[in-house]
Every structure is written in C-alpha cells, then in structure tokens.
Structure 1
Amino acid sequence: MQQLRSHEIRLRVPFHDLDPMDVVWHGNYLKYFDMARFALFREAGIDLYRYSREKGCLFPVIRTRTKHILPLKYDDAFICRAEIREAAIKIVIDFEIRRIADGQVCARGRGEQVAVKLPEMETLYEIPGDVRRALGF
C-alpha cells in the first residue's frame, strides 16, 4: 500500500479571524487549509509561485468542501493536517483541523486542483510528472 504524503502545521487563532459570534469565521478555515497545503508542497520541494514562473503552469483550486464540526475560538491552538489523496489527473488534498488542548476535530475538508498551462490558460488533463513524483504518485 502506498504511503500518502502529509504535513501538519500548528497555528493559534488570532482575534482578527473571529466573527461577531466570537468563533472563527467559516471562510478562515479555507485560509488554514491553504497554509497547510502550501507547507505540504514546500516540504515536497515544490514552491508553487516559483513553479508557475519557471514552468508556466498553475494549479488553481477548482473545488473545495468543508465540514464544520466544532468551532475554533480566540487563542485556540490547533493543528491543520493536509494529506495528498490523488495527484494524477488532479491533485486532491484532504484536510483536518484538530484542537491541541483536547484533540477534538473541529473541521474536515477537501480541495481539488488541476494543472493549467500559461499563457494559454489551457487546462491540462494530467498533473506534470515532476509534480506527481514530488508528491509521491
């Protein structure tokens, strides 16, 4: 069985991420997922910004979903885990946010990305080989 590449980051909820109900605004969970996604790519040796400039290929997010389970609150320390599930035709990453204090899962999500060739903005129907290999596929 293939070992899936994953990465965890540790964060703490800042005041400016709260909504009027004093919980993390729902849109900020996507920000946390994105921070974990970029860290996972970086750990795999891929700088997405540099890759787009040098290879002329972007990896836009085409679909996201989030299940909110328990709200994060001000100053909660948490772990956001990103795990690559697929990287052939599209890149699929599963996410989990877990509060450090009690281990409770607060949110789960998934993001999907495709490869797009610049400057034509042409969708490629497979992830470039160097990226697939770096991600373990």
Structure 2
Amino acid sequence: MVHTKLYRVIYGDTDKAGVVYYGNYLRFFEIGRTEFFRDLANLSYKDLEEEGIMMPVVEAYVRYKSPAFYDDLLSIETAISGLDDYSVTFFYRITRHGEDKVIVQGSTKLTVVDKEKGSIRKMPSKLLNLLDPLVIRPEPQKANLN
C-alpha cells in the first residue's frame, strides 16, 4: 500500500539559493511516515508511546536526483518495504505533484524500543498484524519452462 501526502515547500526549507536544503528531506520522510501510520494504520506515534513503545530511526538512505525549490508542491509517497519481528523499513519517493520525475528517493529503518528500559524489543503482535497487510511485496517470478 502506497500512501501519498502533499507538502508545499516553505521558505524555511530552502537554502540561500532557494533550493530545498538536503537535510530537510529526512524531515519530509518523517512527514510521509507519520501520515502513513495515521491514515492507513489508524495509529499515531503518540499512541505507540502511550503503550510504552518507541520507534527510532536506526538506518537512513537518501538518493538525491533533482532539486526541489521554494513553493513547489511535493508529493511524498511512502510505503512499507520490509517488516520483521523487530523493525519496519519504509521506502519514500518524492516528486513534484503531478509530475513523474523523481526528486528524491530513500528509505528508513525503524526498530522497536521499550520506552522504559530503552532496549530493543519484539514488535507487539497487534502492531505486526496491523502493518503486515500494508507491506509491498515483490511479485513472485514465474518459472521459465522453456
């Protein structure tokens, strides 16, 4: 399942040249991820924290392909590309709204941490079962029998 969130670039997102500052794309990823949870899983980070669960980012990858500028309307596409008992991996693709040219793509991996102990823990089965149907899985390859 792919979730799309629109975001208008504000002046504070840009550098002196009016180009989106590279570090802000990780914040855009967070916007996409937060709204993915809220809209598709009917869940917020606040809900998780109230249940004693933290989900910090432990890995991040960003591939810059084209610049975005002040006042661009961006389309932030977010999907879950991996899920296991301890972590979830999100994939992101950012384009100008209505265009196919990729500005940035990347991923983040979040692990599940017990809020009180500060240690990695297994993902609660309720959360795992909620997220599992949302994972984008590759199509199985057909065997070539020729």
* TM over 0.5, shorter chain: yes
Q: Deviations over 1:22-55 (max 9, x none)?
A: 20000111111100100111121111112211x1
Aligned match for 1:16, one of 12, 15, 25:
12
Distance of 1:40 and 1:119 partners within structure 2: 26
State whether structure 2 residue 120 is matched by structure 1 residue 119. Answer: no
Q: Report the more deviating stretch, 79-88 or 101-110.
A: 101-110
- Local SS of the residue matching 2:117: coil
Matching residue's letter, 2:34? F
State whether structure 2 residue 56 is matched by structure 1 residue 60. Answer: yes
Question: In the alignment, which residue of structure 1 is the partner of 2:138?
Answer: none
Question: In the alignment, which residue of structure 2 is the partner of 1:131?
Answer: 127
Task: Quote the offset at 1:85 in angstroms.
Answer: 1.1
Residues matched between the structures, number: 131
Task: Quote the offset at 1:101 in angstroms.
Answer: 4.8
Larger radius of gyration: 2
Distance change in 2, residues 1:41/1:101 (3 Å): closer
- Local SS of the residue matching 1:92: strand
Q: Percent identical across equivalent pairs?
A: 24
- Local SS of the residue matching 1:135: helix
Q: Report the more deviating stretch, 43-52 or 72-81.
A: 43-52
Mapping 1:19-30, distance limit 5 Å: 19-30=15-26
Distance of 2:8 and 2:22 partners within structure 1: 16
Distance of 2:109 and 2:67 partners within structure 1: 24
Name the Cα RMSD after superposition: 1.3
Task: Quote the offset at 1:12 in angstroms.
Answer: 1.2
- Local SS of the residue matching 1:123: coil
State whether structure 2 residue 53 is matched by structure 1 residue 50. Answer: no
